[in-house]
Amino acid sequence: MADVNFKDSDFEAEVLKSEVPVVVDFWAQWCAPCRIVSPIIEELAKDYEGKVKVGKLNVDENPQVSQTYNVMSIPSIIIFKEGQPVKILIGAQAKENFKRAIDEVLSS
Amino acid sequence: MENKTYDVIIIGSGPAGLTAALYTTRANLKTLVIAGVKWGGQLMLTTLVENYPGFPEGIDGPVLMENMKKQAERFGTEILYQDFTQGNFDPPAGGPFKVSTTDGKTYEGRSVIIATGADTKWLKVPGEDKLIGRGVSSCAPCDAPFFKRKNVVVVGGGDSAMEEALVLIKFASSITLVHRREEFRASEIMQDRVKKNPKIKILFNTEVKEVLGENNVTGVRLFNNKTNKESEMKVDGVFVAIGHIPNSQKFQGIDIDGGGFIKVQNHTKTNIEGVFVAGDVHDAEYKQAVTAAGFGSAAALEAERWLENR
């Protein structure tokens, strides 16, 4: 799977106006715990292919979106549905936690 | 259930756990490391480590841990990125120990090394919990760039508090180190660096009583324990570095002391035969990466000896 990278410029079109829920992994190069989350996010992208859009957002390169959603600690994973942030998970955690959150969003 | 039995199950993947794995695999013992989701331990939350020997220019904590992991894997260590949930440390005579993880699986080991280390100790004051990730942090190397041109406090008086403050000087406009005692317990070299830095202000005899703010940190309420005076200070961030709590709570049947540390006999042994312990989960005294690694190798050698004599 090619990496999906969201940007300030395409965030509205790609995330807020998405037909399906979107999982956004806020990360940066300098963040060690982000490296723990990255492979989990890639697995989730495969597991939920077609049902959920999964991608990353580099907070250094995209300060606007990061500020809008008040991201002050990374990794932060925010799930968007119909243009709204509906789940926020801060810090590295188990794949099961992410799955549970995504499943809840899908079934709501 | 996995139907294979390991010679050694190591719980934890900091310097103690991974060094133990290096030794057990090189002794040809079948080894599983239950690394946890947030593997690598406290060094994953640091930047440059200057007191681990062998790296004259220092080495990044996360890089050091990735190297330790690779080295353990090179000799056949299996690594599981799940959290430990519970264990049966009182098996029928001669039977294997059973260890379960968050994915619902149970693993069997002829011996166990507990190397679960210690986690951030939070202040436990009003406002703190709900603002974690919203201005409250325990990891300056992770979160400092979000505090560009902002004002922050760092709470604590040890080496890790000094490191947090020094990481923040690259980003924040002002850093106030708040410590409840009259002097720091950090090493001289770290204290010097902090005291010489014009961006860092120091408040001794001062405690944080409350973190203020609704959606973000807006300030802290401080208490001077010498003058008994309270004051408020406007800040955007609170970095907590007041120490660590040993991760000893989930090991039923294993004795712990009043401070929560696993009780250790002869450097590496718990109260149960065949269950060993290494690193910050038992070490109330030194708490260094290099001592944890040392304890890890000692526990591995003892586990090996114990398995041979069964």
Q: Does A100 touch chain B (CB under 8 A)?
A: no
pLDDT in tens, B151-186: 999 999 999 999 999 999 999 999 999 999 999 999
Give the mutation candidate from A44, A72, A74, A100 for the B interface (greatest B CB count, under 10 A). A72
**Overall CATH class of domain A5-107:** alpha beta
pLDDT in tens, B48-85: 899 999 999 999 898 999 999 999 999 999 999 999 99
The active-site residue, picked from B60, B83, B119, B139, is B139
ipTM of the complex: 0.77
pLDDT in tens, A1-57: 457 999 999 999 999 999 999 999 999 988 888 888 888 899 999 999 999 999 999
Nearest to B87, CA basis, from B59, B65, B116, B44: B116
Q: What is the pLDDT of residue A88?
A: 92
Q: What is the pLDDT of residue B1?
A: 47
- B216 with A72: Cβ contact below 8 A: yes
Q: Does A86 touch chain B (CB under 8 A)?
A: no
Domain boundaries in chain A? 5-107
Query: Which residues of A participate in catalysis according to the annotation?
Result: 31, 34
Give the mutation candidate from A30, A42, A73 for the B interface (greatest B CB count, under 10 A). A73
Partners of A74 on chain B (C-beta within 8 Å) are 142-143
Q: Does B83 touch chain A (CB under 8 A)?
A: yes
How many angstroms separate the CA atoms of B232 and B219, rounded? 7
pLDDT in tens, B126-153: 999 999 888 999 989 889 999 999 999 9
Nearest to B20, CA basis, from B5, B2, B7: B7
pTM: 0.85
State the architecture of B122-240 in CATH terms: 3-Layer(bba) Sandwich (3.50)
- B139 with A33: Cβ contact below 8 A: yes
Q: Assess whether the previous peptide bond of B198 is cis (omega < 30° from 0).
A: no
The active-site residue, picked from B60, B83, B119, B142, is B142
Nearest to B165, CA basis, from B202, B218, B124: B202
Residue partners of B157: CB distance under 8 A and separation at least 6: B177, B179, B180, B181, B183, B184, B185, B186
Same fold, B5-119+245-308 and B122-240: yes
pLDDT in tens, B78-120: 999 999 999 999 887 778 999 999 889 999 999 999 999 999 9
CATH topology of domain B5-119+245-308: FAD/NAD(P)-binding domain (3.50.50)
Are B218 and B228 in contact, with CB atoms under 8 Å apart? no
pLDDT in tens, B195-230: 999 999 999 999 999 999 998 999 999 999 999 999
Question: Chain A neighbours among B 224-283 (CB < 8 Å)?
Answer: 237
Q: Looking at the partner chain, which of A30, A70, A94 has a beta carbon nearest the beta carbon of B83? A: A94
How many angstroms separate the CA atoms of B165 and B175, rounded? 7
Q: What is the pLDDT of residue B205?
A: 98
Distances (CA, A) of B167 to B49, B68, B144, B163, B192: 12, 24, 7, 6, 15
DSSP, collapsed to helix, strand or coil, labels residue B224 as strand
Domain boundaries in chain B? 5-119+245-308, 122-240
